[in-house]
Amino acid sequence: MTTLLRTTGLGVAYGDTRVLDGVDLEIARGEFVALIGPNGAGKTTLLHAIAGTAPLRDGMVSIAGHDLAKAPRQAKQAIGLAVDPPGLPVLLTGRECLALFAGARGLAAIPPATLALGETLSLTPVLDRRIASYSLGMRQKLGILLGLIGEPPLLLLDEPFNGLDPRSALAFKSHLIATIAWGGTSVLLATHSLDIAERHATRVVLLMDGRVRRSWDAGELSAMREQPECSLEKAMAEACGGETAK
């Protein structure tokens, strides 16, 4: 399979605090990789480092064959980062915000596929309202749409199911799985929902203290699903250290 993302020796620090320390990660086309780890492990920072919105101290990021540092425009053309709800512009309407992102991606208008997903997520009725009046769930849905606009081949999602009602969460999960299956899109999902990771991901990567501690491939995940006594939760607890498993 073609490699879509490759990070080599990735290091990020905020002041004296080293958040990522030599992260090597590869994602192939059509892969669904779940990124798990305890709070402060560096999951969000890793997504932002890949998206070019966190400063790299060491290492390099290559997306679709383009070095993020040398050819950021081409590299960023291949990624879509879902926007955190608190970062949305409250003075714009949802539709205006989508148009802003469409313009930034070089699109003439909001793509019909994005509006269709908005309809699936029940966001259409509020798209012409100011974001200031949105609930957390509505903002989360809009943040997801902003990441998916233009159908980039690599989606970077940070806890996208937070705040979503069960119906919308199911609809979005189905959309993601269909996009991966039919469109060859890759997903890097940072999450604490181990059931989603275990059930849907083709690979799970455990990040701890800014380093990749362990990863589980499709075969191991499949074995976990088949054996009731095994679970990703237990495997993660063991990998994190014996004391947390007790």
Q: Does 134 bind other proteins (CB under 8 A)?
A: no
By beta-carbon proximity to other proteins, the closer residue of 79 and 121 is 79
Sequence-distant (6+) residues with CB within 8 A of 160 are 82, 140, 143, 144, 172, 189
Out of 18, 130, 200, 213, name the contact with other proteins by CB under 8 A.
Answer: 130
Long-range contacts of 106-109 (CB under 8 A, 24+ apart): 107/149, 107/150
Q: Are 142 and 88 a contacting pair, CB within 8 Å?
A: yes
Nearest-approach distance from CB 79 to other proteins, in angstroms: 7
If binding is defined by CB under 8 A, does position 232 make contact with other proteins? no
Size of the site for other proteins (CB under 8 A): 43
Torsion of CA 137, 139, 141, 145, to 10 degrees: 180
The runs of H, that is alpha helices, within 149-240 are: 166-183, 194-200, 218-226, 232-240
Which 20-49 residues touch other proteins, going by CB under 8 A? 44-45, 47-48
Determine the interface stretch with other proteins among 71-79, 120-128, 159-167, 237-245 (rule: CB under 8 A).
71-79
Q: Is 203 in the site for other proteins (CB under 8 A)?
A: no
Task: Pick from 74, 120, 193, 215 the residue near other proteins by CB under 8 A.
Answer: 74
Residue from the set 69, 90, 116, 177 that interacts with other proteins by CB under 8 A: 90
Q: Which of 8, 26, 38, 92 binds other proteins (CB under 8 A)?
A: 92
CA distances from 82 to 9, 43, 119, 213, 243 (A): 24, 14, 18, 25, 35
Q: CB-wise, 9 or 55, nearer to other proteins? A: 55
Among 25, 27, 63, 81, binds other proteins (CB under 8 A): 81
User: Which runs of consecutive H residues, i.e. helices, occur in the chain?
Assistant: 43-51, 72-77, 94-104, 112-120, 136-148, 166-183, 194-200, 218-226, 232-240, 242-245
Q: Which residues bind other proteins (CB under 8 A)?
A: 14, 19, 44-45, 47-48, 51-55, 72-74, 76-77, 79-81, 83-84, 86-92, 96-97, 99-106, 108, 130, 132-133, 156
